[in-house]
Structure 1
Amino acid sequence: MRPVSALRDDLLHAGYTVAALNSLWGPDAASALHRASVVPARRAIDDLRGRLHTLPAVAVLAECFLLGSAVSRADLDRALPTLTAAGAQALGLVASDGDGSYRAALDLRPYAFSDAAGDGEWWIVSDLGELATGEPLREDHVLGIGGASTTLSGLQFHSPAGRVLDLGTGSGIQAMHARRSAGTVIATDISDRALELAAFNAELNAIERIELRAGSLFEPVSGERFDRIVSNPPFVITPRLPGVPAYEYRDGGLVGDALVESVLRGIASHLEPGGTAQLLGNWEYRTDAAGAELSGLGRVEGWLDETGLDYWVVERDTQTPSEYAETWIRDGGTRPGPAFDTLVEAWLDDFAARGVQGVGFGYVVLRAPAGGASVSLRRAEQQHGPLGEGEPNGIGAHLERCLAAHDAIVGLDDSALGELRLRVAGDVTEERHYWPGQDDPAVIRLRQGGGFARVIDPGTALAALVGASDGELSVDAIIGALADLLDADAGALRAELLPAVRELVTIGVLELG
């Protein structure tokens, strides 16, 4: 049996799953681990050791690979009976302490998810984080499961695709997700170490037809086109100064947000007609030499307006220069102290030199128009609140539905739009607030339970149109009835409401009947 296959069999037999770990140490310890504190989880395992003669295999694996503790050869042999401790050392998973015990050399953890193809669970191998090593990360660190990786996996579209490109694959998580709906995935990275771990993860989880290529950005796929491109590019803005670590997994080697600009501009020449791209990125808010403000979203729109692609950019958050610096310095494993302060100074000097007032972070969805069509969607917006709870398959499923709705109505004139019979989406609720003693509401709001959990102040007429949209009456029929009820001019009301109807269809509040 191949060593990786032996490892897979042992992990299955041990029941090394997310649910098993949560049961092992409970919700408080699981939450503490997300806050980079291992103490509650270690205490839970110590308590278990005190109550049981022999730790279960799942506890041994968790102690070794997640908590960074030394485990005995006997325990590791028992937890990995097919591979054995010696086999795990040969694979590079553990290293001997020289006293008969072993410590993890790599992070190995279960990862559970849900997407349009259903529920799934994998094991992901990556480099050890500072939680296990107690030290800042190496510059060639290969990142495992993190907030950005789960964000992008949720942003991915999952309609069937022939060839998909994962640009900057890292440990291969996005390529593995993409493979669930794609015939073939090409995964690239500048880091040979990342490609080695991506290959290991694909084999460990028995995922085939992922082709790995070494090189920077689009160089390994020069002249090729894809049905879909996904990327968590190395977009982190890093000062180009001595002493500032340049982590391969997050730093593309360019100044400011130039890496994001380069990726966005380059995608057009690598998408098939009708092909889509889903990416993460960040962009700088600046002031120019004259003191004029340059919007981050506006700068992104300027880049994309020149590409000939449809685009939908959603800014999810903004940070001040100091917040941004502190976030990414901590991400590299440096904790507050003199070294931390020196790095903050370097970041702030870099931002000040370029007039950066803040940094936005968010999603970018792109599409190459199909069949000679022209660009029909140019949208950039801020959605800084929490996502809706009604998207178990990720925000990508919502955006894919929104693109389909946009396509269905973009070619309709007002006459054809008025003939549609629409229905309000099932996740939309309405709330009304009244001043005491008043019959008419002072505030009407529509709330979207899924998607971006949008809150819309529609006004009386639009709220009534949404409320009457049950798939039976046409938009024009509803507007005519409202005009009579409100004693309003039907033509003027129609001119007011139809643009709003287009917007509500595009964002998923109203659906085609």
Structure 2
Amino acid sequence: MNDLPIRLRELLLETGYTIDGVRARLGDVAAGALAREETVPALRATADGDPLGTLIRLWWLGVPVDGRAVPAGPAGPSVEELAAAGLVRAEDGRVTSTVHLQPWETGGHLVSDRKVRPGDPALRPDHVVGAGGASANLAQLASRRPAGRALDLGTGCGVQVLHLDGRAEEITATDVNPRALELARLSWAISGIDGVDARQGSLFEPVQGDRFDLVVSNPPFVISPAGRFTYRESGLRADDFCRELVRRAPRHLAPGGTCHLLANWLHVAGEDWRDRVGGWLTGTGCDGWAVQRDVQDPAEYVELWLRDAAEQGTPRHRELYDDWLAWFEAENVTGVGFGWITLNDSGSLDPVVRVEEYALPVELPVGGYVDRVLEAVTTAHRLTDAELLDARLALADGVVEERIGPPGAEDPARIVLRQTAGLCRSVRVGTVEAALAGVCDGDYPLGPLLAAIAELTGEDPSDLGAKAPAALRPLIAEGFFHISTG
């Protein structure tokens, strides 16, 4: 394509075909509807035939436009050049895109196969999906620390590379689907990114022997009876692909390296899902943190992915739905969990694994503080009781206290510590923990502070000192307190 991607990028930016430009052009109502995959308000909002409206219709909405209205700019690619490159189809004065070209929040652009909507032809098996909510979630999760070498495993249309660019010195991207790599390269070129080492293959096969400071993956995690689409299903049984991804990742982490991935896992009758996912992490030699952000029953899950492929209302819908549910029933599946997993090669001989369910809103990006979360979890686990009593504890920034009880009551019925930043957790605490929250600022060891609290409350100092570590350890792990090193 020579310099066509560069000239196309210049045209897109000049026309205002960016995230902010599209939102402003559409307005809140049409933009909100488009986020729900409803196109009618956006079509109405772009009916004037202006340059930006025409690009939105052509590249995002995927409807034919008048060839004379397609902007080219002083040096932008012509319709003929776009057609020769296979990006559009021109016929009888009308131009139709053959790909989906979307602006992304990094300021770059992504090329994928056209969005599939009800009534469209069935997806091709090697369909390359565009960026969406899962892509954004992974980008928000990844650590913001600079990285020497980074790996985007299962790059798809190349979205994570747009986020890694400028943060990592070297970027490798893999995918099992050669068409995905083809479109990803185009995404990077239009976004002004070069030097990405793109390799084809499944799991970690393309990077055997390589180690990375940062690994990110939005893998084909969908759990189904058969792998019909490479972008979402691996073909491995049940949730084995995610399990294998977790187990193999540590072999490709440099010392101190981190892996972030999205995953689905089964909820099976008679089994605690925490044991299932925790079993994936145990034995990796890495510190691990797995969070279930959502869970769906089998019917909800099947409906989600049938909608994803625009298969609702098609002749095969009932058959696909029934077969999928029958398979779940045979596997004793009661639900499917969605969430994220982080592994860190800390080098510790005593790796820590935390598996939890947390569905409440959190401060974004999680990557801005995910390293502190992992540090808190490991610190709480590894400190002995004696070390904790000698440590100088400090209340974390952004923690507030709420006291709840009848008006005028001498003592509150409930005391709650609440985080106003980060994961925004809340926890009910006792009077001792609340008292510590009010006085610990990192200047004094915990032991003398507990002794002073014991004197005020009339408790036995020895008993309080013996009980406090068990009560405080979860509060440290969850980020309400931290160990001061200043």
TM-score for both structures, normalised by structure 2 = 0.94
Is 1:355–2:349 an aligned residue pair? no
Q: Shift in Å at residue 308 of structure 1?
A: 2.1
Pairing 1:367-406 to 2, within 5 Å after superposition: 367-370=344-347, 373-387=348-362, 389=363, 391=364, 394-406=365-377
Alpha-carbon offset, residue 340 of structure 1:
2.4
Q: Does 1:71 align with 2:65?
A: yes
CA spacing shift, 1:497–1:341, aligned 2, 3 Å:
farther
8 Å contact kept, 2:101–2:109: yes
CA contact (8 A) 1:108 1:125 kept: yes
Does the 8 Å CA contact 2:380/2:474 hold for their aligned counterparts? no
Shift of 1:236: 0.5
In structure 2, the partner of 1:249 is 231
Take 1:447 and 1:339, find their aligned partners in 2: how far apart are those partners? 49
The answer on whether the counterparts of 1:140 and 1:193 sit within 8 Å (CA) in structure 2 is yes
Report which stretch shifted further, 396-405 or 100-109.
Answer: 396-405
Displacement of 1:286 in angstroms is 1.2
1:101 equivalent in structure 2: 94
TM-score, structure 1 length as denominator?
A: 0.89
Displacement of 1:95: 1.1
* Alignment correspondent of 1:212: 198
Aligned to 1:298: 275
Alignment correspondent of 1:117: none
Q: How far, CA to CA, are the matches of 2:392 and 2:74 in structure 1?
A: 60
Distance (whole Å) between structure 1 residues aligned to residue 60 and residue 303 of structure 2:
25
Alignment-derived partner of residue 116 in structure 1: none
Q: Which amino acid aligns with 1:357?
A: T
**CA offsets 1:234-254 (integer angstroms, 9 cap, x no match):** 1101113xxxx7111110011
1:53-92 Cα offsets, whole Å, 9 max, x none, are xx43221111111122211121114468521111222222
Shift of 1:206: 1.5
Question: Could you tell me whether the CA contact under 8 Å between 1:297 and 1:315 is conserved in 2?
Answer: no
Instruction: Check the 8 A contact 2:118/2:312 in 1, yes or no.
Output: no
* Residue identity in the other structure for 1:281: A
SS at match of 1:457: strand
1:229 and 2:215 aligned: yes
> Does 2:50 align with 1:56?
yes
1:111 corresponds to which residue?
A: 104
**Long gaps (5+) in structure 1:** 50-54, 113-119, 288-292
| Alignment check: 8 A CA contact 2:16 2:22 kept | no
2:246 to 251, 260, 264: 264
In 2, Cα distance between the equivalents of 1:480 and 1:144?
59
From 271, 280, 283, give the equivalent of 2:262. 280
Counterpart AA for 1:507: E
2:201 and 2:451 map into 1 onto residues whose CA distance is 61
Residue 436 of structure 1, CA deviation: 4.2
Aligned AA (2:82): A
Q: Aligned equivalents of 1:257 and 1:83: distance in 2? A: 45
Query: What is the alpha-carbon distance in structure 1 between the residues aligned to residue 84 and residue 418 of structure 2?
Result: 55
Opposite residue 460 of structure 2, the aligned amino acid is D
Give the fraction of aligned pairs with identical amino acids, expressed as a percent.
Answer: 39
Tell me the amino acid that sits aligned with residue 425 of structure 1: A
Q: Which amino acid aligns with 1:105?
A: T
2:300 is the alignment partner of 1:314: no
Pairing of 1:46-195 with structure 2 (within 5 A): 46=47, 49=48, 55-78=49-72, 82-96=76-90, 98-112=91-105, 120-131=106-117, 134-195=120-181
> What's the C-alpha RMSD, in Å, of the aligned pairs?
2.1
For the 8 Å contact 1:164–1:185, the answer to whether it is kept is: yes
1:469 and 2:440 equivalent?
Answer: yes
State the distance in 2 between where 1:406 and 1:126 align.
39
